Each structure stands twice: as C-alpha cells, then as structure tokens.
Structure 1
C-alpha cells in the first residue's frame, strides 16, 4: 500500500488510551489535598502538558519544591493514576485495527510522550504494544518537553525517517504545536480537548474522536 507518511509518532496519554481524566483527577487530588493548592479541576486540566516537574513549577513557581520533593509527588501521582485506571485500561476504539494495518503496511512507529518510563511501560506492557512501538521517547529522553519539537524529532531520528514523512498523533494543543515545530503534520484526537481549543491547526490533517474506520495516511 502506498502511503504519504513513512512513520507514525504517537503521543501516549489521551492518544493511545483515553486516560487523561484519570490523570487529571490524580493531579487534582495531589494539588488540593496533599499540597493545599487553590486550583479547580478545570484549571488543573489546562496545566497538564509537559513533564510532571513542569506542572508543579507552573502551579507553585520555580524553587518552591526541592527536586526530591517533586520526584516524590510525581511518583505518588502516578501510583494513584495507575491504581484508578488499571481496571479500565484499554486502547481507544479502533486503534488495535489501525496499528495492525500500519504494521502490515511497513509504516514505522514510535511513542513520543512527556510521560515517565514508569507510566509508558505500564501501558505498553498491559496492552502488549511492544511489537508496534520498538522506539520510545519519554520525558527522561529530552531536555525540553512539548511544545519543543525534541520529543518528535528524536523519535524520527531514531527511526531514520525524514521529519516531513512523519505523521504525529496527538490529543493536546501543545503536542500539535510541537509537531508543527518539528515540521510535521498531525492528526488530533478530541479525547480531552475540542477542536476549538487547539490554537494551532494549520498542520492538523484531521480531527477524530477515535480510530474506528480510519484509513492509513
């Protein structure tokens, strides 16, 4: 099959699994109950991009916590998220068929996520996705997270595919912006954000709520 793109780069949370509300609830619980922040659930959702440390620094300011404290709160948040989400863990509708089609067509695939390896491994291993994603770029692999393009350019470099031959799958406005900054087009999932909430859309080829019936690009 002739396809326009030679590689697909997938964000993880909200793009492969519909779990962003579980992340938001875990973060809001930490921020409100553990850290006594004055922040609403919707305000928490808006801060959910990039690395865990960056979220804490956006809410409380740089230097408020030590690195060890931020690492500890980050891991506690992930433990609460995983405990809540595990009974519900599944791929977004239609994705299993879409991944298999892409795999059979020889399209290379990678994960490009701001999540930590602890969370990426949780998803890939519980859903047996390693076959599709031999390359993983996590929060630990980049200096700057999205909207900086490094997450996606690094994935493309490891796969050995030119940036303009990569299609990014994202659910977050900052992720679509990162794709644009990498010179890549994107497909946007509306699992957490509406199309109107994406401030950059000129590199988005399509908005979808899931992968059902989706053809290769």
Structure 2
C-alpha cells in the first residue's frame, strides 16, 4: 500500500466504473453491435479489452481506420449508446458510499470534477439521472479533448477548470488507461476495483490505494 498522507485539494472522477458500476452494459452494447449487427466472431472478453477511449477509437481498434465512413461511425455510436442506456437504466445507481463521500467533500469545500471519455449524452444521463450535478464544479467529456486517455489532456483540463494544480488533485479511476492518464498528468490515483484486478495496475507508481467502494475506511485519510 502506498503512502496515504496526502491531502488533495480536488477530487477528479472518471465516470464509468468509478462513480457508477456500468462497464458491463457498455461492453454488452458493443458486443451486441459487433457480433449481431457487424457479424464479427469476437468473444465477450475480446470486446471488453477494447472498452476505453472514444467510440470511433473503439471501432478503429477493432475494425481498422478505413472500415467505416464518418456517417456510419456516428450511426453505430448513437445505436450503441441507446442500447447501453436502455440496458443500464433499471440499474442506475452510484457506487456504494459515493453519495456520502460527495457530501463529505462538499462540506469540506473540496472542489470536484468529472474527467471522462464518455460523451455528454451519457454523462448527462448519469449526472441528472442521479441528481449529482450540484456537487460538480466542472465536467470534461470526450467532446472536450483532442486525445483520449491515456493522454493526460482530460485530467489536466479538469484541474485547470477547477483552478487546482495537478499535483494537488486526486483522481478516482477504475481502468489502467485512466491511471496512466493521471500519471502523465502528474496526479495520484485511488483505484476502484470494479472492472480490473489489482494485478493489472502493479506497474503504476501513482496509486495511493485500492477500494471496492466508497465506504472504505482508507478514504478517511483524505480529509
């Protein structure tokens, strides 16, 4: 376990798998499109490995850059998000303990932001569906950056929007690419073990610790 004597001045949250436990529904939506609509022979595990970055990046990694026209990518992306939202809506909920953690951070006057590769359509679905927008001072989405994680742009823009030095920010992430993004941004991370095993993060020196949810007592050291 890494040193927990860190008092962050801001909290930056990835969204999917970090504030909500929904990555299965993103994967199922893509799996449906890739196997049923596009006729690939990919298994679920292979699709899951590609679940990071913007939608067009997912399609390009799987099918190559020249497979789809911009119009086809837009149509496939829209269809994927509709399937994701329809599948996840009955289960829409914050990860356990996050409601209290957000209240505690607000009371401590620690500014918070979302830094996500999700599109605004999905961020709004979550933020407004769970009524947590009032906790957030900034939201950086896929539409706000040129380069997705593991590039640091997402988290650097979130820190800039909050007016906080990157080194004073703590990122909450669930994916290795997100932790790598925070590392490149000069930020420390707390990892949610909702999507990946701890062994998948062993090469990242910026991790403070691992939590299954926001009821973990080690979060008490952050205030």
* Number of corresponding residues: 216
Which ranges of structure 1 fall in alignment gaps of 5 or more residues?
none
DSSP-derived class of the 1:188 partner: strand
Deviation at 1:185, TM superposition (A): 0.3
Asked if 1 retains the 8 angstrom alpha-carbon contact of 2:137 and 2:162, the reply is no
Choose the corresponding residue for 1:109, options 98, 112, 115: 112
Asked if 1 retains the 8 angstrom alpha-carbon contact of 2:114 and 2:140, the reply is yes
Find the aligned partners of 1:200 and 1:154 in 2 and give their Cα distance: 25
Aligned position for 2:41: 38
Find the aligned partners of 1:187 and 1:43 in 2 and give their Cα distance: 26
Aligned position for 2:162: 159
**C-alpha distance 179-81 of structure 1, shift in aligned 2 (>3 A):** same
Choose the corresponding residue for 2:174, options 164, 171, 175: 171
Question: Is 1:215 matched with 2:213?
Answer: no
Find the aligned partners of 2:84 and 2:202 in 1 and give their Cα distance: 28
Asked if 2 retains the 8 angstrom alpha-carbon contact of 1:98 and 1:215, the reply is no
Aligned position for 2:96: 93
Aligned position for 1:141: 144
Find the aligned partners of 1:200 and 1:155 in 2 and give their Cα distance: 25
Deviation at 1:198, TM superposition (A): 2.1
TM-score, normalised by the number of residues in structure 2:
0.94
Find the aligned partners of 1:186 and 1:23 in 2 and give their Cα distance: 23
Choose the corresponding residue for 1:68, options 68, 71, 90: 71
Asked if 2 retains the 8 angstrom alpha-carbon contact of 1:98 and 1:216, the reply is no
DSSP-derived class of the 1:42 partner: helix
Deviation at 1:3, TM superposition (A): 6.8
Deviation at 1:167, TM superposition (A): 0.4
Aligned position for 1:132: 135
Moved over 6 A (4+): none
Deviation at 1:133, TM superposition (A): 1.2
Please provide the CA RMSD for this pair.
1.3
Question: Is 1:81 matched with 2:84?
Answer: yes
Deviation at 1:199, TM superposition (A): 5.3
Choose the corresponding residue for 2:22, options 15, 19, 22: 19
Find the aligned partners of 1:119 and 1:133 in 2 and give their Cα distance: 16
Find the aligned partners of 1:176 and 1:28 in 2 and give their Cα distance: 25
DSSP-derived class of the 2:178 partner: helix
Find the aligned partners of 1:198 and 1:74 in 2 and give their Cα distance: 29
Deviation at 1:216, TM superposition (A): 5.2
